[in-house]
Amino acid sequence: MAERDMDRSVSQTVRAQLTLRDMILSGGLRPGERISELQAVETTGASRTPVRMALVRLEEEGLLEAIPSGGFMVKAFSERDIVDAIEMRGTLEGLAARFAAERGVSVRDLEPLKECLDEIDGLVRQDPISVDAFSAYVALNARFHALLTELSRSPPLIRQIDRASALPFASPSGFVMAQSALPEAHQILLIAQDQHRVVIDAIENREGARAEAIMREHARLAARNLRLALRNKTHIDLLPGLALIKTVAD
Amino acid sequence: MAERDMDRSVSQTVRAQLTLRDMILSGGLRPGERISELQAVETTGASRTPVRMALVRLEEEGLLEAIPSGGFMVKAFSERDIVDAIEMRGTLEGLAARFAAERGVSVRDLEPLKECLDEIDGLVRQDPISVDAFSAYVALNARFHALLTELSRSPPLIRQIDRASALPFASPSGFVMAQSALPEAHQILLIAQDQHRVVIDAIENREGARAEAIMREHARLAARNLRLALRNKTHIDLLPGLALIKTVAD
DNA sequence: TGAACACATGTTGTATACAATTTTGCCAAC
DNA sequence: GTTGGCAAAATTGTATACAACATGTGTTCA
């Protein structure tokens, strides 16, 4: 912790925030555990002021919780919290799809989305999907969701969706893991891909209500699959931010 | 600014945050205006550290925007941002209503909601509604929305809705103003009240999809009315957080 | 007259010192 | 043995000093 890479281009606050977030998400700090400022100072290398700023930001982000008597602790989530977060995010993305459709987007705007989907098609064609292809899929899926969100052209909505994604299990990766952590994973991936295509079609044809409904269904499917995966304990170790869950055992 | 009430029960950070928020919302600080830390120190009476913490929190809250070169400025919102924020909040409340219905709530839980609605009934009975009755209505409406949100029993969703309400024009008060800033205000209030009743009915009967649809419609109506009010410039001065809007003149 | 550079000024990011509050451990009393 | 209280230690909230950076202005040269 002495000779860490002192990148002067970013502030100490940002660096401390990144370091602490990594520690929280990787499970280096247990849920419910109090975070000692001095200890954080040692591990991050920054001084107390930037550490405190980072802690405040992480609290607003939803990863930490303020202790009434002072200081912060790592927030603990229940399994239902996770499912709820995914539905919440999907609901907001549904609104984004509706906005995109109602606002009217040009064919040019939809091109990157379609390219994304074409690339995904190439990946999901193979049935026992390789590990490399899978991580490529995760990245492409995240890209698709981000592009769709942007398409709403609504800064408040985009911001809110970003905030909802701060909870790692509610991020697009969480979507994917939820969909892929079951025996019938491959079929689910195909269904999800179909839904993606239909949403784009709905947006292209200015069908706001339809676009929203599809995205809602997309999210409800992801939530359902995650519920099943949690119950069966299948591959849940793939879920990002797992370290934040209170009791993996029910 | 010398002898402000030094309430030792709350931290300097919280006090600075409240003071600065008031200044922003009341228009004491113009949108796009850079916030000087030293000036904030003078006006709030706190020292630089708590002021900085307050600024970070207000940024996360969405009222401030970070300047790349350092420091913060008051965020500016377009009229469409406001309408979007109201729809966004309504969408999340729709999800809350669905959760409440699906999760199953006892009759006891619904009682406070019904009392709220009964009280509102008493107020909206008079046609030219008095000023006192109107502010009572605003308070009761806020209470109803808060109770409904709580009914979802979903901490992540409740948190997200609270955050969405941080933008003052997206708060329940914003809902009301949007609904009441038109000539046919009284009729609109009656419709809104009807929708409130139907939502409770849907929740009571475990009809999740219906409860959600009604709340969505409730929000879309509010958004539509606000759009009209903004176009006609009728009573838009009643809208909370008006000072944050970039151009009142289109 | 205009543009460019240097300097001065003000502002923010960071570090640290201090004070107050909370927590913890220990000892005594019931 | 348990509980209450007291004291010490640790931790957080606050204030301020310092350093790096950005900004604006004035002067000088083309």
ipTM for the complex shown: 0.88
For residue B250, the model assigns a pLDDT of: 38
Nearest to A61 by CA among A172, A174, A163, A171: A163
What is the rounded average pLDDT of the residues B163-174? 85
Assigned CATH class of A12-74: mainly alpha
Q: Judge: domain A79-244, CATH 3.40.50.300.
A: no
* Residue pLDDT, tens place only, B48-72: 999 999 999 999 999 999 998 889 9
- What span, in angstroms and rounded, lies between the C-alpha atoms of B67 and B44? 21
Q: Give the CA-to-C1' distance from B19 to C9 in angstroms.
A: 29
Average the pLDDT over each of A21-25, A203-207, B159-163, B188-192 and give the range with the smallest value.
B188-192
For residue B248, the model assigns a pLDDT of: 47
Which residue from B minimizes the CA distance to A170? B156
Q: Give the CA-to-C1' distance from A28 to C25 in angstroms.
A: 28
* Residue pLDDT, tens place only, A14-56: 999 999 999 999 888 889 889 999 999 999 999 999 999 999 9
Average the pLDDT over each of A79-88, B40-49, B104-113, B231-240 and give the range with the smallest value.
B231-240
* Residue pLDDT, tens place only, B1-36: 333 444 446 788 999 999 999 999 988 888 988 998
- What span, in angstroms and rounded, lies between the C-alpha atoms of A160 and A89? 9
- Is the Cβ of B157 closer than 8 Å to some Cβ of chain A? yes
SS (H, E, C) chain A: CCCCCCCCCCCHHHHHHHHHHHHHHCCCCCCCCEECHHHHHHHHCCCHHHHHHHHHHHHHHCCEEECCCCCEEECCECHHHHHHHHHHHHHHHHHHHHHHHHHCCCHHHHHHHHHHHHHHHHHHCCCCCCHHHHHHHHHHHHHHHHHHHHHCCCHHHHHHHHHHHHCHHHCHHHHHHHHHCCCCHHHHHHHHHHHHHHHHHHHHCCCHHHHHHHHHHHHHHHHHHHHHHHHHCCCHHHCCCHHHECCCCC
For residue B65, the model assigns a pLDDT of: 94
For residue A1, the model assigns a pLDDT of: 36
Average the pLDDT over each of A217-221, B82-86, B120-124, B196-200 and give the range with the smallest value.
B120-124
**pLDDT averaged over chain B?**
87
Rounded to 5 degrees, φ, ψ at B66 are -75, 135
What confidence tier does B188 reach under pLDDT thresholds 50, 70, 90? confident
> Nearest by CB to B95, which of A49, A88, A159?
A88
Q: Which residue has the higher pLDDT, A243 or A127?
A: A243
Which residue from A minimizes the CA distance to B87? A95
Which residue from A minimizes the CA distance to B155? A81
For residue B51, the model assigns a pLDDT of: 95
For residue B92, the model assigns a pLDDT of: 97
Which residues in chain B have their CB less than 8 angstroms from residue A161's CB? none
Judged against a pLDDT cut of 70, whether residue B176 lies above it is answered with yes
Percent of chain A with pLDDT over 90: 56
- What span, in angstroms and rounded, lies between the C-alpha atoms of B124 and A169? 44
- Is the Cβ of A57 closer than 8 Å to some Cβ of chain B? yes
* Residue pLDDT, tens place only, B194-233: 999 999 999 999 999 999 999 999 999 989 888 888 887 7
Q: Give the CA-to-C1' distance from A84 to C27 in angstroms.
A: 51
Asked whether A179 and A222 are in contact (CB, 8 A), the reply is yes
Which residues in chain B have their CB less than 8 angstroms from residue A57's CB? 56, 60
* Residue pLDDT, tens place only, A139-196: 999 999 999 999 999 999 999 999 999 888 888 877 777 677 677 778 888 899 999 9
Proportion of chain B in helix, strand, coil states, percent, rounded to 5: 70, 5, 25
Judged against a pLDDT cut of 80, whether residue A90 lies above it is answered with yes
List bases in chain D with any atom under 7 Å of a protein Cβ: 11-17, 21-23
Interchain CB distance below 8 Å, A53 and B57: no
Question: 3-state DSSP call for residue B66?
Answer: strand
Chain B interface test: which of A82, A83, A95 (most B C-beta within 10 Å):
A95
CA atoms lying within 13 Å on the CB side of residue B119: 18
What confidence tier does A248 reach under pLDDT thresholds 50, 70, 90? very low
- Is the Cβ of A81 closer than 8 Å to some Cβ of chain B? yes
Domain map of chain B by residue range? 12-74, 79-244
- What span, in angstroms and rounded, lies between the C-alpha atoms of B73 and B52? 13
